[in-house]
Chains A and B, each alone.
Chain A
């Protein structure tokens, strides 16, 4: 009984331990350090991407689209397929030549 009361007293004292917490002050250099960090990050970000203006971004996008359209057209064109099949037959890579190999 006495032991239980003792334990409960300890628990109450622990739960109230932080009621007497003193007020805290951050270090005097905190403000300057933080200001420096905030504005240094801003400068780094702006410096590294400042040359990539919206006009340049649009021009890059247009270039990428043009190159892609050109590439797709080349792949789809009959000339390209003809060139591939003649290349394949020259080096014996066409399906017809493979079939003849198995027939041997």
Chain B
């Protein structure tokens, strides 16, 4: 069956097609959600919302991109929406972040409890520090870094998901690494 036929069946709200869609994408979407939101329960809730959104919005899908790209775009947007909501609740020290010198990687101010099922035990602590540092990045840099370094997506895939050129992806990734280096440097200096 071609992708166009499959999309027609999804538009017709065919139960078997949605079953296949879930079979094909449930682990991938969950993985992407976990890359942005490293908490198994939150990630599962977001993944569920993604499929409900696909179900409700499939009529608006114009097939200008691949179905998988469209699903990952919805996934990224849902995750960012979740992070924005949770961060807004926890932003009590907003003046510190406005000054641009906020290197405090405080677990208590992170938007969720870090509980990623794929974390290797020995790397748990350093991974948590990295997640806290990623949360301090500007949104565009955070998206590109997360999709590339955590979710293991290629530049081409990220470029399709974010509607940006590959050059722009490379530049954002470079800036994200530079900012992470700066944040982590200050964090470890303060620890000593």
A interface residues with partner B (beta carbon < 8 Å): 3, 7, 10-11, 13-15, 17-18, 20-27, 30-31, 33-35, 37-39, 41-42
Within 8 A of A (CB), among B69-92: none
The interface size of chain B toward A, counting residues with CB under 8 Å, comes to 39
B130 touches A34 (CB 8 A): no
Chain B residues in 8 Å Cβ range of A42: 13, 55
Q: Contact string, B149-192, partner A, CB cutoff 8 A, digits 1/0?
A: 11000000000000000000000000001001100110011001
Q: Inter-chain contact count A-B, CB under 8 Å?
A: 95
Chain A residues in 8 Å Cβ range of B18: 35, 38
Tell me the interface secondary structure of chain B in the complex: helix
B126 touches A17 (CB 8 A): yes
**8 Å CB contact of B123 from A17, A24, A30:** A17
B15 touches A24 (CB 8 A): no
What CA separation (Å) do A24 and B35 show in the bound complex?
11
Tell me the interface secondary structure of chain A in the complex: helix
- Given A25-B30, A30-B22, A35-B18: 5 more A-B contacts, CB < 8 Å: A17-B127, A30-B30, A34-B51, A35-B22, A39-B15
B27 touches A14 (CB 8 A): no
**8 Å CB contact of A15 from B31, B116, B177:** B177
Chain B residues in 8 Å Cβ range of A20: 120, 123
